[in-house]
Chain A
Amino acid sequence: MEESSKRSEQRKEMEKERKKGEKKRRKEEEEEEEEILIFNHKSAEKEKEDEDLSDSEDSVFSGLEDSGSDSEDDDDDDEDLKVDQNLSQQVKKEEEDVQSSLKKKDEEEEVKRDEYEHDSSDEEDIRNTVGNIPMEWYKDFPHIGYDLDGKKIYKPIRNKDELDDFLDKMENPDYWRTVQDKQTGSDVVLSDEQVELVKRLQRGQFGDVNFNEYQPQVEFFTQEVMLHPVTNRPADKRSFIPSLLEKDKVSKLVHAIKMGWIKPRRDSRDDSRGRYYDLWASEDTSNLARHRMHLPAPKIPLPGHHESYNPPPEYLFTDEERALWEQQDPVDRKFPFVPRSFSSLRLVPAFPRFIHERFERCLDLYLCPRQRKMRVNVNPEDLIPKLPKPKDLQPFPTTQSLVYRGHSGLVRSISVSPSGQWLASGSDDGSVRFWEICSSRCLKTVQVGGAVKSVAWNPNPSVCLLAVALDSAVLILSPALADRQVVLSSDRLLSAPQEAEPIEGDGLVNWSDTEGEELNQGIRLKIQHPKAVQQVAWHTKGDYLASVMPDHSSHLQVLIHQVSRRRSQNPFRKNKGLVQSVSFHPIRPYFFVATQRSVRIYNLVKQDLTKKLHANSKWISSMAVHPGGDHVICGSYDCKLSWFDLDLSTKPYRMLRHHRKAVRSVAYHRLYPLFASAADDGSIIVCHGTVYNDLLQNPLIVPVKVLRGHVITHELGVLDVTFHPTQPWIFSSGADATIRLFT
């Protein structure tokens, strides 16, 4: 590096000088060219000198190193190298000779002949001057080249054909020693000496007869110490005084050894025999934190019967299993190999993935994070909650006892009369049927002319009325299935004088008395709504009736009718979502409205919202209010049933996911602590739900019975469910056009 930098510096200086020179030249234009030339020459010479200098420096250093290494380490190698160099030099010389001779040949015509008198290679040219060219160039010509004057040199006339040649061969005694000179094209008869020479060369002998191949060797250097020196030259001075260079070199080595840069040679013999010793001789029981925290790698699982070379036949794969194994992703396979069976040990081949498996183990060992996982051995029986036995929670419906047949369409809605004697059902076939519960006899059928969406029996036991929702009308039926007193009182209620026309919902709702055929059937009143009615619900007193008309875009979804005064009103001014069902509070003036996601509770007296319950479900399908009025259950289409404790929270106290499919209907029993849910999977689940008066105690919910019986038709199972008002019985109506009673 330093040298190069020096050089570059020198070059810079040189250039400076040159520039100076140029400046000078500009100044002294009168000066002659020769001088400038000389100047340039000088600078060039200087440059050369510099380079030489640097080279010499290099060589000095390299030479030093070389000599040092020679003296130190391997003499033999270097000697070989030297020999090689000598050889190469010789070869080079020879090559040069050849080249020079060639050049000379090329130039021969320009140079005088005398110079080549002794050159044997030129002797041919004395005979022929065509030059050193391939003779086949002139194969088809009569001449073989040109002489100095440019005249053709003709080949000797040869018109021998094969026959002549043959005759010549037969007759000429010298034929065997006749050769054709390619250069001149003439035949030459070899002399005896020449023949002899050829023979000798063929035998591999020297051409010269007198040459002795086996001359005694004269040894120049012998092992014997000679009396006199080989040369008479006096010894150099440097052979007497110690070499400074060597001293320098040695001191450098010594320094390097001292500093530890060069290490003395290690003994190369194998120390494996003494490599091992008792490592754990002094068993110190130092329990470091490091060791406590250490997680030993898990051992490889031990092989099972599958891996045997001769497993029992049941462990071998069948064709299907094998196909499955081949289809599976290598990660998903239960075994990384196919079990195979061999009849004897000598037939077992090498396992192709052996090295892979070891390698994967290695990767696992150093690449996999380790973690201590606490695996609790749980007894699954312990996970099952301890609940009171259903036996102790009786009574509840257990068996199907009656089936009410008669409808031809799916039965959407059923209702039991407050006396507990009659059952009303509305179906898609456009009829409302009245059944006697105990005998399952259909007492009355009313054709209403449209699919019945909902029926609701007036809960007031002193009247006998049924509200029926179909299309966009609500009908009030008086089936006359009670005492005379009751029938009369219900008639009185319906025929109450129309004092004033309703103020609210003026143009919306049209109250009308029915006549003729309809009246004969028992239909007494028709309340015409502007939209399709989905559900009707009575107030406990039996005077007020709520109807639901689900609509996304309108605030007119719920109407409350007063039957005695034939008045209707729309209680809500705003649309708060699609109303699914409504219900009156059994005791207090509250009104429950279930929208898609939540249940709103309104105070009818104060006319404001008291509570909003969030059912954690997607779409509420039905709602039921506990007879105590403090609890609400909601069924939803996403199979859930949520129990709200109104005193506790606005979030469900319990979410029950008992059903497999959408819950269609839920119901509370009026007297017994029972509730039921019916779903599209055709099952009714009856649960025990005790509610305590003590506020600190949560309701106890225990499923007690799963009732099945309805046939699933068109993906629909049970559509409505309701309890008997006094008995622990449950009615259900299904899509299979039947109503069933479970007792």
Chain B
Amino acid sequence: MSATLRPYLNAVRHTLSAAMCLHNFNSQVVERHNKPEVEVRSSKELLMTAVVVSRNEKEKVLIEPSINSIRISISIKQADDIERILCHKFMRFMMMRAENFIILRRKPVQGYDISFLITNFHTEQMFKHKLVDFVIHFMEEIDKEISEMKLAVNARARECAMEYLKRF
């Protein structure tokens, strides 16, 4: 199973490097406005083919590029109920602090757990290859963190139960 992790992350990395070619582009619909076209979706010619890279039925990444922005949505592996709850709470925690993440989107795209929105302004201020590195690193670390949290929850529950049952 982990044999697919490296190829999966490599495929996502290559696709992101290819898709993250962003130009400044003022809105064609409203003058003096500059909007991320992947969010507005008003003009077909500005949007590129949305592409999915999947590792299995549960884990996949949706990459929607456009001329001045790219939206990356990640679906995280959630094997059981505890992982589902932990994932949901963890993602919510981060999305509430999306301002500090800069490229994080406050709401995930329908069907996915978390989304990033990267615009040309971000690529102008930050290194493209570093942005890609960040997303890949994020994907790697999320799985580890959720497993760690799950272990911590189970350990705490065991401790509590032991202490409580010592009474009897």
Chain B associates with chain A = no
Interface residues of A (CB under 8 A from B): none
Question: Residues on B close to A: CB < 8 A?
Answer: none
